[in-house]
Amino acid sequence: MDKLNLYQKLLNVQSELVAPKSQYNSFGKYQYRNCEDILEAVKPLLEKNELILKISDEIVLIGDRYYVKATASVIDIDSKEKESVSAFAREEVTKKGMDSSQLTGSTSSYARKYALNGLFCIDDTKDSDSTNEHGKVTKKSTKATDGDINEAQIKRMYALGYKAGYNFATVNEHVLSKFKVKPEKMTREQYDIMCNGYEELKK
């Protein structure tokens, strides 16, 4: 049997990965996942698919503010191919109860989480952790209806996009340029058009 290429292996990881929200914010009263939750869930799948995960940070100056740029990369042990996704997080000027080293570490963890989200197609757009509205976010139904698609369907679209050779950010750009909406706002018809298009490309 032919060996799987990097994108086929990554598709397997994305399809099987379930990263639980094991953290709890007592102030906002919501569950959320952090970087460590994702790493713990993905490690067995990486081993199974013979992939190596590397995460690195660098400090970059944008305008007059410093950001932590986190890059998450998967490397295929067989072919040495690599796919990477980066995410940025900005340090707050001050944060009560934290010294400068803790502040940088917290910002790094946040940036790494969103780099991992992009690489493994984890949708945190409905998390209170990402919107920071402390319990004011109303959860949408996970059932698909006309004019609405669920998180699992969005994840499938990203996975098909990866298999066709496009990363997380590029798939978002495709949806925005074609339909002028974000992926979570697509109708079922628009979702089908995107998925069918990526399936045709991967052939």
- What residues does each domain of the chain span? 6-131, 151-202
Range from 35-39, 96-100, 168-172 carrying the lowest mean pLDDT: 96-100
Question: Where does the pLDDT of residue 201 fall: very low under 50, low under 70, confident under 90, or very high at 90 and above?
Answer: confident
Higher pLDDT, 98 or 3: 3
pTM: 0.59
Q: Which residues of 6-94 form beta strands (DSSP E)?
A: 23-25, 30-32, 51-62, 65-76, 82-90
Dihedral angle, C-alpha 153, 118, 201, 191, nearest 10 °: 30
CA 47 to chain centre: 20
The predicted pLDDT at position 102 comes to 62
Q: Going by CATH, does the domain composed of 6-131 fall within 1.10.3470? A: no
Alpha carbon separation from 98 to 38, 67, 92, 105, 111 (Å, rounded):
24, 17, 11, 10, 18
Is 23 in a helix, a strand, or coil? Answer: strand
**Considering just the CA atoms, what is the radius of gyration of the chain in Å?**
18
How far, in Å, CA of 133 to CA of 118, rounded?
22
pLDDT(167) > 90: no
How high is the pLDDT of residue 178?
87
Return the percentage of the chain with pLDDT > 70, whole number.
79
Nearest by Cα to 51 from 73, 19, 74: 74
44 Cβ partners below 8 Å, 6+ apart? Answer: none
